[in-house]
C-alpha cells in the first residue's frame, strides 16, 4: 500500500512540473520547420516534396489550453511522367500562410506531452506548371481547416522541442491562370505518417 501511495505521489509531482509549463497566462514564441519527400513507383514514378517555415506566438488562456497564430511560408513540388508526348510534368507552388489555432496539451511524463491542435487559415501565392512544351503560372487562394497531432519534449522551464505528424483537414482552393478562367478545388486530407513531419523549438517568455 505504501509503495502504491509513493508511486502516486511521484506521478503527481511529475504532472505538477509539466502543469506549470502550460499554466494560465503563459506566453510562448517559437516556430516549426517542416519538410517531406516521397517517391512512388508503379507504372510511373511520382516524386513530391514540400517545405514550410512557420513562426508562431501562443497564449495560455487556461491551464493546458492555448490560442495562437502562425504566419509563414510554404512551398511544394510534384514531378511525374504524363504521357508519350510529354516526358515530365513539374508542378511548384510558393505560398504565404496566415493561421490562427487552438491547442490542448496532455501530460505523458516528466518531460513529454502530447497535444492536439485545431487550426483554420488562408494561403495565397503562385503556382507554376511546366513541361517540355509549355509553362504556365497562376494565382492561388486557399482557405483551410484541420487537426494536427504532435509531441512536445521539455528541455527546461523556458524551452521545449515540438514535433508534428501530418494533418487531417478540409480545404477549398481557387486558382486563376494568367490567361483563362478560374477554377475551384475542394478536398479532404488525411495524412498522418512519419514521412510528413514538422520540427520546431518554443521558448516561454514568462
Q: What cell numbers appear for 1 in the block?
A: 500500500
Strands 183-191, 112-130: pairing is: unpaired
Tens-digit pLDDT profile for residues 67-79: 999 999 989 988 8
Q: What cell numbers appear for 149 in the block?
A: 497531432
Enclosing domain of residue 155? 2-204
User: What dihedral do alpha carbons 23, 18, 29, 33 form, nearest 10°?
Assistant: -140
Work out the percent of the chain whose per-residue pLDDT is above 70: 82
The phi, psi pair for 160, rounded to 5°, reads -150, 160
Report the domain count for the chain: 1
Q: The CATH number of the domain where 138 resides is what?
A: 2.40.160.20
Euclidean distance between CA atoms 83 and 132, whole angstroms: 11
Tens-digit pLDDT profile for residues 115-154: 999 999 999 999 888 777 778 888 999 999 999 999 999 9
Tens-digit pLDDT profile for residues 28-79: 999 878 788 877 776 667 788 888 888 999 999 999 999 999 999 989 988 8
Q: What cell numbers appear for 147 in the block?
A: 487537426
What is the model's pLDDT at position 85? 45
Beta strands of the chain (E only): which ranges?
27-41, 45-62, 65-80, 89-107, 112-130, 135-154, 159-165, 167-177, 183-191, 196-204
Mean pLDDT (whole number) for 88-110: 90
What is the model's pLDDT at position 112? 92
- pLDDT: is 203 or 193 the higher one? 203
> In this model, does residue 105 exceed pLDDT 90?
yes
Q: Which residue has the cell 511520382?
A: 46
DSSP structure string for 83-133: -SS-S-EEEEEEEEEEEEEEEEEEE-SSSEEEEEEEEEEEEEEEEEEE-SS
Mean pLDDT (whole number) for 99-105: 96
> In this model, does residue 3 exceed pLDDT 60?
no
Tens-digit pLDDT profile for residues 150-184: 999 999 889 999 988 888 899 998 988 877 788 89
What is the model's pLDDT at position 13? 41
Amino acid at each position: 500500500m505504501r509503495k502504491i501511495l509513493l508511486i502516486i505521489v511521484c506521478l503527481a509531482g511529475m504532472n505538477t512540473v509539466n502543469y506549470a509549463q502550460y499554466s494560465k497566462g503563459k506566453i510562448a514564441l517559437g516556430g516549426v520547420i517542416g519538410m517531406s519527400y516521397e517517391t512512388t513507383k508503379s507504372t510511373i514514378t511520382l516524386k513530391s516534396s514540400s517545405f514550410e517555415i512557420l513562426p508562431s506566438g501562443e497564449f495560455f488562456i487556461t491551464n493546458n489550453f492555448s490560442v495562437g497564430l502562425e504566419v509563414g511560408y510554404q512551398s511544394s513540388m510534384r514531378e511525374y511522367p504524363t504521357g508519350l508526348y510529354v516526358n515530365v510534368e513539374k508542378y511548384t507552388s510558393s505560398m504565404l500562410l496566415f493561421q490562427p489555432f487552438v491547442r490542448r496539451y496532455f501530460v505523458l511524463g516528466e518531460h513529454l506531452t502530447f497535444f492536439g491542435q485545431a487550426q483554420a487559415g488562408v494561403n495565397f501565392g503562385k503556382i507554376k506548371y511546366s513541361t517540355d512544351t509549355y509553362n504556365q503560372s497562376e494565382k492561388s487562394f486557399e482557405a483551410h481547416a484541420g487537426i494536427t497531432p504532435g509531441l512536445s519534449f521539455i528541455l527546461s522551464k523556458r524551452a521545449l522541442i515540438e514535433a508534428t505528424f501530418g494533418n487531417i483537414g478540409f480545404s477549398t482552393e481557387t486558382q486563376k491562370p494568367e490567361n483563362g478562367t478560374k477554377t475551384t478545388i475542394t478536398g479532404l486530407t488525411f495524412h498522418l505518417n512519419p514521412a510528413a513531419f514538422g520540427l520546431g523549438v518554443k521558448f516561454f517568455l514568462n
